[in-house]
Chain A
Amino acid sequence: MSVEETHENGSASAEVAARVERRWATIAVIIIVAMALLAAFAGIHRATMPQPRVETTDPSRIHLSGEFVESNLGSVLEANGNVTVRAIGQQYSFTPACIVVPVDTPITLRATSADVVHGILVQGTNINTMLVPGYVSEQLMRFTRTGDYLMPCQEFCSFGHEGMWGKVRVIDKTEFADRAKGGGRLSCVGQ
């Protein structure tokens, strides 16, 4: 084999390599673009959107006035048939410890933290949000079956974190409407 031939073989193989590389790079780019488009499509057309707005609240005053005073925590049936749930997390419990909501109803959860960072996760659903002190978390939810769901704090909040388990009780729509007749805020207590 002459030197020239080797050189020719070399450049031919380099060309093959370059072609295969280009092909692979194209495939990789297509995969990524497709993923981004899927995310964009799902983000625009489907639910489960991250919270769009940033709202603040002063944790040292939430017990005294405003939306998160104790008497305003729990579930309330709005005039349009939707339900709003207000809750706070603190070391090491949620208030209310058990949230009661109707099935098949649009629900808005509004929650914040009274001290450190906590998290709300409802097992068996994709309801999952952080509670950061100073900020209000808002999450839309809707339950399709009745029953009790566990609601652990999913973020480390110091030594009692492992004991911070709340509950969500999903009940029948008419039963909820009955209980809501008297006005006021509902929780599982007294049920």
Chain B
Amino acid sequence: MLANRKLILAHFWLAFGVFGVALTLGAWQMFIRSPIGTWLSNPELYYRSLTAHGTVMGYVFPTLVAMGFGYAISESALEQRLVGVRWAWTGFWLIVIGSIMAVIPIALGRASVLYTFYPPLIGNVFYYLGVVLVVVGSWIWVALMSINLRVWRKAHPGAPVPLAMFANVAGSYLWAWTAVGAALELLLQIIPVAAGLKNTIDAGLARVFFSWTLHAIVYFWLVPTYIAYYTLVPRAIGGRIYSDTMARISFILFLVVAMPIGMHHTFADPQVGAGFKFIHSAFTALVALPTLLTVFTICASIEIAARLRGGRGLFGWIRALPWDNPMLLALAFSFVMLGFGGAGGLINMSYQLDASIHNTQWITGHFHLIFGGAIVIMYFAIAYDLWPHLTGRELIDVRLIRTQLWLWFIGMIVTTFPWHWVGILGMPRRMAYFDFGDPAIAPQALSVTFSAIGGFILLTSGILFLVVLARGMRAPQADAGPYRFALAVHQPTTVPVALNTYALWVALMIGLTLTNYGYPIVTLALTEGTSVPAVYVGAQ
């Protein structure tokens, strides 16, 4: 039984609560910009809503899931009481305060800069300070994960760190360093301007800082999902992890190569030269490697489960899998969405192909498929898996859970596929409405309508998810036993130091970031006359 159930539950409930709100906003946005919704007389409300949706979904929700899951892993995988519980609560409350601080100016229309900030647009200073508090709260978690592992290592000298914890700490280090880019942008550039201490800002440099965070943050969102792939799915369906080593290599690769690639977000920007864009493009290709390794290892792991259940033949084993198991269902949906989203990602990261779809609705389709689809569906699975251990009660609505996962999958496909399509046609993103009366835009109306319908399917699924969790709080009591993680076919008794520690990999991560970002940042910072007047949002 987990000792700090209240702490973990607090993180999950806050995460899924704000997720529900942001999901509702998202569905409303799709309705309002589609031909079935009437035109909004005040597009300003749309951008407020969009800022809130992005800020919650990008910063608050995944961070809280990673933190809650991280605490659960630390306690159960290490079989050790969480060290620093008071600090953990401090981090939690910082996130609560930060979120409230950020959401008030958003609601008042004083911070409609979207979650990507867009200087020289400058919103109310409390919006940025709120985001900073959320990040600081999460850094406390990073420190705690590191400290807990250290305490465990002292008690178990030389022993292999359990895979779930190894991945969890790798994810926390990735986050700590990833967040530095946006933190530099906020602290050095935006907040002084928002606070009125300065009135000019280098928008180009700010975009480079932000790209440092913007891509690797996706891999931080992804880590809980990958931990679930490796350590929850095989256990839930009676299989084994095909290779513990492959799993460790995948997480290490994410740590090393997820960071120095963000400039592929600036392919179309004038402030970065072609050389560094190319280097980042090549590095982005590398980041497909850990995912390819993972897809292989997980497929092999579930094949083991199928063969243990009597599955035969080259593909016949697939039928022997327990398809009514929610964890397997979530995995299958997640893989399908990861496949489509990943293929789209290869197009986005291509030096040349990117031009066709840069900043179109394609991009929105791509990252909703990866994050909202492949990643979030596993967050659901994690919550379902953990819930009995957090509440001491059994989740009995298995059919409802399956329906919820199906709806999420269908909703994501119905939402994002039309977005990809209109993106190819050149529909720009982040628009409050379109003039579907224009003959040049009219053919896109049907696709946008489908997306809006998908949005409501997703909303239905999200509500079902919250209903299942809430009902789980009042279900009959049942002892779920200790929380366990999947074992490997060859459970390691010793692991090479390089696969059991982080020093080398963290050094590589920082080194590669400095080589891939150092020169462009320094040259931009030294270039004279690139600071432009700030444009304050809602200042009229």
**Residues on A facing B (Cβ under 8 Å):** 10, 13-14, 17, 20-21, 24-25, 27-29, 31-32, 35-36, 39-40, 42-43, 46, 48-56, 58-60, 91, 112, 115-117, 119, 121-124, 126-138, 148, 150, 152-162
Contact = CB atoms under 8 A, between A and B. Distances in A.
Contact of B203 (A49, A50, A52, A132): A132
Most buried by A among B245, B272, B282: B282
Nearest to B350: A39
B427 to A, nearest CB: 8
B527 interface: yes
Nearest to A133: B532
28 contacts: A17-B242, A24-B292, A29-B289, A31-B288, A39-B282, A48-B352, A49-B351, A54-B271, A54-B527, A55-B270, A56-B529, A59-B533, A115-B120, A115-B533, A116-B203, A126-B355, A127-B355, A130-B268, A132-B203, A133-B532, A134-B204, A135-B530, A153-B428, A154-B428, A155-B430, A158-B47, A159-B47, A161-B47
Contacts of A48: 352, 355
Interface of B: 43-44, 47, 112, 114, 118, 120-121, 202-204, 207, 242-243, 245-246, 266-274, 277-278, 281-282, 285-286, 288-289, 292-293, 296, 300, 346, 350-352, 355-356, 358-360, 425-426, 428-434, 438, 440-441, 489-490, 527-533, 535, 537
A133 to B, nearest CB: 4
A43 B351 CA distance: 7
A112 B530 CA distance: 12
Contacts of A31: 288, 292
Given A20-B300, A24-B292, A134-B530, 11 more contacts: A39-B281, A50-B274, A56-B529, A112-B270, A132-B270, A133-B532, A134-B202, A135-B270, A137-B270, A155-B118, A158-B47
A39 B352 contact: yes
Main secondary structure of the interface of B (DSSP, over half): loop
A126 B112 contact: no
A117 B352 contact: no
Contacts of A46: 352
A165 to B, nearest CB: 8
A32 B300 CA distance: 21
A117 to B, nearest CB: 6
Contacts of A126: 355-356
Contacts of B428: 119, 121, 152-155
Contacts of B352: 39, 42-43, 46, 48-49
A5 B351 CA distance: 55
Contacts of A117: 118, 120-121, 203, 207
Contacts of A25: 293
B530 A56 contact: yes
Nearest to A42: B352
Contacts of B351: 39, 42-43, 49-50
Contact of A129 (B47, B202, B270, B438): B270
A135 B529 CA distance: 10
- Closest 3 pairs between A and B when the two form their complex, measured CB to CB: A123-B426, A154-B359, A154-B428
A158 B346 CA distance: 30
B189 to A, nearest CB: 13
Given A32-B286, A51-B274, A24 B293 contact: yes
Contacts of A112: 270
Contacts of A40: 278, 282
A89 to B, nearest CB: 12
A68 to B, nearest CB: 13
A158 B432 contact: no
Nearest to B361: A154
A167 to B, nearest CB: 10
B274 A49 contact: yes
A17 B426 contact: no
Nearest to B276: A50
Contact of A128 (B114, B268, B282, B285): B268
Contacts of A43: 278, 351-352
A32 B114 contact: no
A35 B120 contact: no
B112 A158 contact: yes
Given A123-B425, A130-B269, A156-B114, A60 B532 contact: yes
Contacts of A35: 285, 288, 346
A157 B535 CA distance: 10
Nearest to A137: B270
B285 A32 contact: yes
A132 B289 contact: no
A13 B528 CA distance: 63
A159 B532 contact: no
B463 to A, nearest CB: 29
Contacts of A49: 274, 351-352
B118 to A, nearest CB: 6
Nearest to B520: A54
B360 A154 contact: yes
A54 B207 CA distance: 15
Contacts of A32: 285-286, 288-289
B442 to A, nearest CB: 12
Contact of B207 (A24, A132, A152): A132
B490 A14 contact: yes
Nearest to B47: A159
Contact of B535 (A54, A116, A156): A116
A123 B273 CA distance: 25
Given A48-B352, A156-B118, A162-B431, A132 B269 contact: yes
B273 to A, nearest CB: 6
Contacts of B300: 20
Given A25-B293, A46-B352, A52 B431 contact: no
A15 to B, nearest CB: 11
